[in-house]
Structure 1
């Protein structure tokens, strides 16, 4: 069957497959993940796994979509208009640096680039359900904080994109090009703190 077949996102077995795949993909990335290991982690047969996902790329993108939704749900618990900007931004920066440092983020990027011509909708769907959702959520907070006089952001969407790029600095390219293996938690914290400092230096309000 083709890789564009619609996925039925329901049922206990489906949930088991996605959770098992998440465990393996987070540990091994896309390239290193083995279907046998995924089926074993999910507690299902390979036949059951293939009945939901006839192609490993489809399974990976479903895990990536679910992971973005998981992170968005967690972010919704803290993204509130009244929260001090530095506190919220540091929370977001820590989540982003952790993600950019993970095998999952590298695999998502590599797959979206590799499959962009053959399956452009796959990359677009991930962007809509991942980076764009996070950008819009942060942009809305920046808009509210600016309205309350806590920040001075003239273009919330651009500022949200800039913040994400600051959180990549010193991490993503080093991992992508194999300059470094997984970076330390201490380094990621340094990047997160610096991203917030730079963002606040540009958009913060001096009292």
Structure 2
């Protein structure tokens, strides 16, 4: 009897730990990323998203006011994590050649990430019916990537390592040079995204072309 009582007292009581909102959001983002990429934005319902994430629609609406808000938050979350690599390089104590290659590689990894390309394909397909999708994707993705790279370039200009009249324009040109062609080939031509070694080779070429034209020459 005493032994049974001891077992009863040692058994944990109460409900299992409740998952935090942040953990739940991560699960919802993964479910939404897959559903949007496979089925498209219009065809994906909030009920379907809630079911895929294993939560109630009430919980989904508590976390996100609607499908558009979920899409924006999902893009921001994914891009925030990928963009952190670019931000880190701005503070790195490395030579400009190494730093630029690292920054461009981070931008290429973002622009050519399979999830990002799939989302961009979906946004292009549905932008006529849902124009806010394209605006949000541009704000949270393309524009922020260029801003992060421009921040890195501005540091190099202040160090007098390169001379550029307009760092924002240069950042856009660099991202276009390193990622636009393979991205368009994947979205419009149905070609596979480049392998890692091909991305790295493209980054080295783009960095060399840019630095040859902007590097401050020693006098």
TM-score by length of 1: 0.73
Gaps spanning 5+ residues in structure 1: where?
Answer: 1-10
Instruction: Report what 2:146 is aligned to.
Output: 135
Matched, 1:18 2:25: yes
**Contact 1:27 / 1:103 at 8 angstroms: preserved in 2?**
no
Aligned counterparts, 1:43-192, within 5 A: 44-47=54-57, 50-51=60-61, 52-53=63-64, 58-80=69-91, 83-192=94-203
Greater radius of gyration (CA):
2
Note if contact 1:97-1:171 (Cα within 8 Å) is conserved in structure 2: no
Shift of 1:187: 1.4
Secondary structure of 1:205's partner?
A: coil
- Taking structure 2 as the reference length, the TM-score comes to 0.70
- 3-state DSSP of counterpart to 1:141: helix
Deviations 1:115-162 (A, max 9, x none): 444443443333233322232232233233223220111111100001
Q: CA RMSD in A?
A: 3.4
User: How far did 1:46 drift?
Assistant: 4.8
Q: Mark the runs of 5 or more structure 2 residues left unpaired by the alignment.
A: 1-17
Deviates more, 1:68-77 or 1:189-198: 68-77
User: Structure 1 residues 16, 188: CA separation in 2 closer, same or farther (over 3 Å shift)?
Assistant: same
Distance 1:124 1:37, change over 3 A: closer
Structure 1 window deviating more from structure 2 (91-100 vs 51-60): it is 51-60
Q: Distance in 2 between matches of 1:29 and 1:102?
A: 16
Distance 1:28 1:194, change over 3 A: farther
SS of residue matched to 1:109: helix
TM-superposed deviation, 1:58? 4.5
Which range is displaced more, 159-168 or 169-178?
169-178
